[in-house]
Structure 1
């Protein structure tokens, strides 16, 4: 494969590039099996080994189509996919419940999603609850000691990235030469919401990472810990970050990981320079009135 050939829609191929050869067992995690092959087909989950250690794989499958929900295709995370991914995390928690923190299995998230399934049926039945359940599951796993590494191989967009990626301890991404796309919202939507001309936002996006799309800008914001410039480097990068995350958790440095750690990283990289100032101001204002609201004993 060409060193910079797009990986978009190739989540299953990425699994084989990352894990130990022929070690991936799909639809089985600990005592949990996913017996319905038609349930959440855009999410590929299972167990593998990576450098000899057991890992849970949760991947976007951009080639799948959910026949029950026509808006769920090409890696979109729909209601079933959200619940399936959440179940994979909870199965991992249960499988390692009796293990010490340093032996909890890593979770490797392979991210290539253009968003959530916005169909009326999904909204009525509770797609937001499904994706929320997945976010909560990942947060619980992270706090329980499981190292969680997200590897963005294609698209990481909107609320789908919020649940499938942003809760990870560390996020890695193939660089922009692969056509990798990371953003919370397209500028066309931002323009409608904040009532700014699209031309103004496009000009801002050239210099301000908050408005720009792409892994290099998200890196400046601290949202990506490392950019990977070759697909054959993904495996080694993930192994390295698992070790780094384990060491941080063992040292009690959990606040350097996950969403909180990425906020500090963005300030270090000059991509989020206002954030710490706003937080300091809010802390000062809260401290000034906290006594009025403290529980009476």
Structure 2
């Protein structure tokens, strides 16, 4: 197999223990309506003998109610369904010790969100926001969350389905994986720079470039996985590392940890100076906005 692009459902079986995936069931919650968010694959499985929640995008599904939701796009219903799977996980493990809270494995292959007019009116932003919030709550509650990029990780869909994870892994670019927040054409329109200039910058500056290797340099990807069969072992390893880090109370996982990685890898050289300046400016004015004691 030379690529997993568009094969999110197949990737589930390549990662979890054989024949262990129970689709549309998480804890006490059953997702019984196949027409609701069909592009979202959710369920429970065993990974190295331990129970995990799995959330993926199915590029072969099509949501007939929302014509722009196809090919792995995360639409409004998909966002809510994914959020429900996370909250079902939180409820199932609410009384468990930190060490026993199940991991959540995100299998990422999405070209973006599907904001058609109907979705925008109904509240597409609320659906993706609900999913981001759910993952953040699960991460802070102690659930190890690992995102595995197997194909596309694009724009706002990657923001809600990936970037809230404790660790992000990605298959090498030779498997046609693609990671970017915004294409150069859009960057050009926003910052008023011509595309030729940005393409030249992208050859050496990871901020303007796309792809897993550049995101690795920025700290946005913790590990590049060189072969498809190696995904399973890499995810198991990172789940174990996340558990130990959380048990020790270390702040080295999640979005903050990736910012630090970017500095260490040379992709975010200015970040510490920006943070220092922001903190200094906030300290200078915070007294004006802090509630006064009576």
- Report the TM range for the smaller structure's normalisation: over 0.9
User: Is 1:164 aligned to 2:161, yes or no?
Assistant: yes
Tell me, in whole angstroms, the C-alpha distance in 2 between the residues paired with 1:85 and 1:251. 29
Shift of 1:239: 0.2
Shift of residue 296 of structure 1?
Answer: 2.1
Work out whether 1:230 is the aligned partner of 2:227: yes
Quick one: distance in 2 between partners of 1:220 and 1:191? 22
Q: Does 1:274 align with 2:270?
A: yes
- Does residue 54 of the first structure (1) align with residue 39 of the second (2)? no
Q: Distance in 1 between matches of 2:171 and 2:29?
A: 31
Q: Aligned to 2:60, which of 49, 60, 63?
A: 63
What SS class does the counterpart of residue 169 from structure 2 fall into?
Answer: strand
SS of the residue corresponding to residue 45 of structure 1 reads strand
**Residue 45 in 1 paired to residue 45 in 2?**
no
Distance 1:179 1:197 in 2: 27
Offset, 1:293: 3.0
The Cα shift of 1:289 comes to: 2.6
Question: How far apart are the structure 1 equivalents of 2:235 and 2:159?
Answer: 20
> Alpha-carbon deviation of 1:196?
1.0
Shift, 1:61, TM fit: 0.7
Kindly state the Cα deviation for residue 287 of structure 1 after the two structures are TM-superposed: 1.7
Q: TM-score, normalised by structure 1?
A: 0.97
Match of 1:129 among 126, 130, 144: 126
Distance 2:260 2:136 in 1: 18
Moved over 6 A (4+): none
Question: How many residues end up aligned between the 2 structures?
Answer: 293
Deviation at 1:42, TM superposition (A): 0.8
1:105 corresponding residue in structure 2: 102
1:25 to 10, 22, 25: 22
The separation in 1 between residues aligned to 2:80 and 2:263, in whole angstroms, is: 34
Is 2:285 aligned against 1:289?
Answer: yes
Deviation at 1:96, TM superposition (A): 0.3
Q: CA deviation at 1:6?
A: 1.3
Asked whether 1:257 is paired with 2:266, we answer: no
Compute the displacement of 1:291 (Å): 2.8
The C-alpha deviation readout for 1:14-73, integer Å capped at 9, x for no partner, is 101100000000000011000101111111000000000000000011111111111000
Offset of residue 285 of structure 1? 1.7
Structure 1, residues 96-125: CA drift from partner, whole Å, max 9, x if none? 000011110000000000000021011110
**Where do 5+ consecutive residues of structure 2 fail to align?**
none
**1:12 equivalent in alignment to 2:9:** yes
Question: Structure 1: which 5+ residue stretches go unaligned?
Answer: none
Given candidates 173, 177, 180, the residue that maps to 2:177 is 180
Partner of 2:197: 200
Q: Secondary structure at the match of 1:256?
A: coil
